[in-house]
With several copies, the nearest count.
Chain A
Amino acid sequence: MTNEMFLQFSSISDNEAFARVAVSAFITPLDPTIDELNEIKTVVSEVVTNSIIHGYNNEPDHFITVQCLINNQSEIELTITDEGVGIENIEQAKEPLYTSKPELERSGMGFTIISSFMDDVEIISEPTKGTTVRMIKQLAKHKTVSKS
């Protein structure tokens, strides 16, 4: 059985914690490990924060959507979308330490953390149209190949 949720909210920083809690609560029935839960919370926080700061330049009157699918009770598919400014150069954006907003004390580590915590990450972006980050994570106890 597939369980699915779709969430849309205003682009204000109050909603960063909200998005983390909502996704955590949605995947709780899968009984993830504490590490897995922390990883998911962190990537939600990274991507939503990027949409607020970079995508919408901190303007509060836009919307961010988070879609979460649970496949086979074990695979989490997370898709986070904004209709903001988009990314000119995706390869550059993914580089560790690269940030277009050093004046905001961004560390430039968002995409590095996301890649490390998720099994698969796809960035789809078009300047002036917006950005979609689609991520997949397989929960460990259901992994066919054990990590040990």
Chain B
Amino acid sequence: MSLIVSYEVTENVLIVRLVGELDHHEAEQLREEWAHKIYATGIKHIIVNLQDLTFMDSSGLGVLIGRYKEVLQLGGEMLVCHVNPFIERLFELSGLFKIVRLAENEKQALHTLGVAS
């Protein structure tokens, strides 16, 4: 019923894995923690793994867009992977794919970013 987040840094990429439900209640905490990780680790790109995200609404979109803007400032980009069909519909609807690229999995996403894993 709630959200569990784990972070991993590979070279200049922050991999964020979201497990559970991402709504407004969870978004508030995630936002702070995630923004802190970006600056504390000195990364440039972000890969978001949504494999075990069972729910997401527009508050979740807001957090993704907020972090996208941060890496954009750092000259980096954001990729999402393991997007289930329902979340893919949300992303389509909201135009998120205009700014965030889709990858199948973390490995492919790292490859796209030019990082060998």
Listed in ascending order, the chain A residues whose CB lies under 8 Å from chain B are 13-14, 16-17, 20-21, 25, 28, 34-35, 38, 41-42, 45-46, 49, 52-53, 96, 104-110, 112-113, 116
Interface size class of B (residues with CB under 8 A): 20 to 34
The CA of A72 and the CA of B61, in the complex, are separated in Å by 33
**B57, CB-defined interface residue at 8 Å:** yes
CB-based contact B55/A41 at 8 Å: yes
The docked-state distance in angstroms from the alpha carbon of A17 to that of B61 is 17
**Cβ distance B27 to chain A, nearest Cβ, rounded Å:** 7
Contacts A53-B24, A112-B93 given; indicate if A35 touches B58 (C-beta within 8 A): no
B1, B55, B57: residue with the most chain A Cβ atoms closer than 10 Å: B57
> Inside 8 A of A52's CB, which chain B residues have their CB?
24
Query: Least Cβ distance of B100 to chain A in Å?
Result: 13
Say yes or no: A116 contacts B25, CB within 8 Å: no
Question: Which residues of A sit under 8 angstroms from B42, Cβ to Cβ?
Answer: none
Q: Mark B5-49, 1 if CB is under 8 A from A, else 0.
A: 000000000000000010111011001000000000000000000
Residue B90 at the chain A interface, CB threshold 8 Å = yes
Task: Say how far A102's CB is from chain B's closest CB, in angstroms.
Answer: 9
